[in-house]
Structure 1
């Protein structure tokens, strides 16, 4: 799949154990950017980061919606989501 047509929601685990969720269409480049200290302000002080979860979507809008919904979850719900790969809508309804 052409990287520019791949829309990914991803979750990183930071060095302090916290999670960072984001969107990209080039995952390798985005993780490299984070670890170079040039990514999101949040991750700059929490390096290194490593990928722990990702999902692919057909559109940027869908991937960004998944990112937004994931960020609304509690940490426990985020962990369940990543462990089970559940639909975010199912988890937010159960909260």
Structure 2
């Protein structure tokens, strides 16, 4: 029987209102690590506290990494549309032409 894996792409809002996108296999622990400032070199270290704004679960790490890379390239407005799951706005902000 195949083992189900949990991988999460997550978006944090930092204290300076910037967004951080990451991937993890344990969302709760990772959020604690960000807020505890475990890595002084991390983007979020000087931007604490952070707030979880969005996450999406994946079964395969490759899919999670692909989505993380995609979302990292998105504009602030497009990420905010994702928080609201406003798919029409995401398409609009993608400059995607529906034929």
Bin for the TM-score computed over the shorter chain? 0.7 to 0.9
Q: In the alignment, which residue of structure 2 is the partner of 1:59?
A: 60
Greater shift in the superposed pair: 58-67 or 75-84: 75-84
- Residue 47 of structure 2: SS of its match in structure 1? coil
Q: In the alignment, which residue of structure 2 is the partner of 1:50?
A: 51
> Alignment RMSD, CA only?
2.3
For residues 78 and 94 of structure 1, the distance between their equivalents in structure 2, rounded to whole angstroms, comes to 16
Cα deviation code 1:16-36 (max 9, x no counterpart)? 111101000001110111111
TM-score, normalisation: structure 1: 0.82
For residues 26 and 72 of structure 1, the distance between their equivalents in structure 2, rounded to whole angstroms, comes to 23
TM-score, normalisation: structure 2: 0.79
The total of aligned residue pairs comes to 90
Greater shift in the superposed pair: 33-42 or 44-53: 33-42
Q: How big is the shift at 1:82? A: 2.0
Q: How big is the shift at 1:46? A: 0.1
Q: In the alignment, which residue of structure 2 is the partner of 1:94?
A: 96
